[in-house]
Structure 1
Amino acid sequence: MGDSQKTVIAGATDTAKRKNLRFEVAQELYDAIPEIEEDVTARPNGHTSVDFIGALAEGETPEEALTYCAYVLPRRFAVWWGHECLKKIEDTLDQTDRDMLELAAKWVGDPIEDSRYKALDAAMEAKIKSPGVWVALGAGWSSGSMAGPDVPPVPPPPFLTARAVNAGLLSALARFDIKTRGEHLQRFIRMAVMLTEEG
């Protein structure tokens, strides 16, 4: 991760588990967040999370490795990862996506309620749920409440950030032909694995 990336997530490792994973062992993720079974058909067989990512990436449906990464990275890291992946293919994004990514990055850099609500509100108001909008929703659904600050809190389910980031990346990849899509997919997976090793 470059210096600018380190600056943005400075301090994020303070609350992350070793290797910046929510769960070191893949089965622990399935036990804690069973909703992943709706998004990843493969099941871990004693794998560590990193090994499971590798197995999925080499399997028949490598997109499941991307999905697993969205779940296993701590929410703040997952949003930053989604942001960085989309920045690699920025020429496919429109201004709305860029604006949404900027809001997501501001939350990653300063994860306070104000920046989270700004990302959430802007993403919810977007007419089309494009890749950048999904990543901003990932930030907005990361903690706190899904409702406004002046109403009783509605905590987001623990899987929503993962699903949002995953939707953003998969929808972005769908814009490419099969060969290019596969190249970007594997690149995104490598970026996630590298991110787990930062700290």
Structure 2
Amino acid sequence: MRIQTKPFAKVAASTAAEICARVDLSPEARAFLLPNLSPQGYLALLVDAQHIGDAVRFLAFALPVREGVWWSCVVAKNTLTEFSDIDKRCLEEASAWVYEPVEQRRRSCMVVSESANFEGAAAYAALAVFWSGGSMAPEGMPEAPPDPRLGHIGVGASILLSITAGDPLRLQQRFEEAIARGIDIANGGNGNLEGGVAAVGVPSQ
């Protein structure tokens, strides 16, 4: 899988080291890290070495949370073959928050994720929304801001749950498709790979 060398439009960090300072990666993945290596260059090394978990977690932290949530929804919808009603609701609520990232929608995502017992790719997409900001405490209680890493962690967990489901023989294909969708979103697309790079990006605020 070939990854571009030009900077990702939606990634603010200029070096991979800036991103890696916030994300838990394996010692094997960190062995590739050089001080001035770009995010796209580091991701290419992880993908080439088939460090699936590290590559997904790195890109989940490289993207802004909102774009990351969109990535998790797109991958789940295009990868999973079975959806329960609550899975569909989780993805609907998470997608709705991307279009309108307001507090009411953020808290709705917590409700549906809890209904899914916090299990599965769709539930983690919704949970990533709840973890994206605001307060973790119930409404009316003193604010308890989430760890700023939590939203990204939720995105990574959702992506990994999507791509590890199904036929193990197709894991590499699902992984590469998920990364391709994430890169498209990182460049301002919407993650839809049919017919090439998407022309319409994640909805603007």
Letter of the 2:143 counterpart: P
- TM-score normalised by length of structure 2: 0.81
1:92 is displaced (CA, Å) by: 2.8
CA distance in 1, matches of 2:91, 2:163: 16
CA distance in 2, matches of 1:122, 1:95: 11
Q: What's 1:176 paired with?
A: 166
CA distance in 1, matches of 2:149, 2:143: 17
- TM-score normalised by length of structure 1: 0.83
Establish whether residue 55 from structure 1 lines up as the match of residue 45 from structure 2: yes
User: RMSD across aligned C-alpha pairs, in angstroms?
Assistant: 1.9
* Equivalent residues of 1:25, 1:47 under 8 A apart: yes
Letter of the 1:70 counterpart: A
Indicate the SS of the match to 2:9.
helix
Aligned 1:56-135 pairs, distance under 5 A: 56-135=46-125
1:126 is displaced (CA, Å) by: 2.8
Higher fraction of helix? 1
Paired positions, count: 179
Q: What's 2:135 paired with?
A: 145
CA distance in 2, matches of 1:23, 1:93: 35
Runs of at least 4 residues off by over 6 Å: none
Higher normalized contact order (CA 8 Å, seq sep 6+, divided by chain length): 1
1:50 is displaced (CA, Å) by: 1.2
Gap regions ≥5 residues in structure 2: 1-6, 189-200
CA-to-aligned-CA distance 1:126-171 (integer Å, 9 cap, x gap): 3251110000000111011111221111111111111111111212
CA distance in 1, matches of 2:85, 2:46: 33
CA-to-aligned-CA distance 1:58-116 (integer Å, 9 cap, x gap): 11423311111111100000000000011102423322111100000010000010110
CA distance in 2, matches of 1:177, 1:126: 23
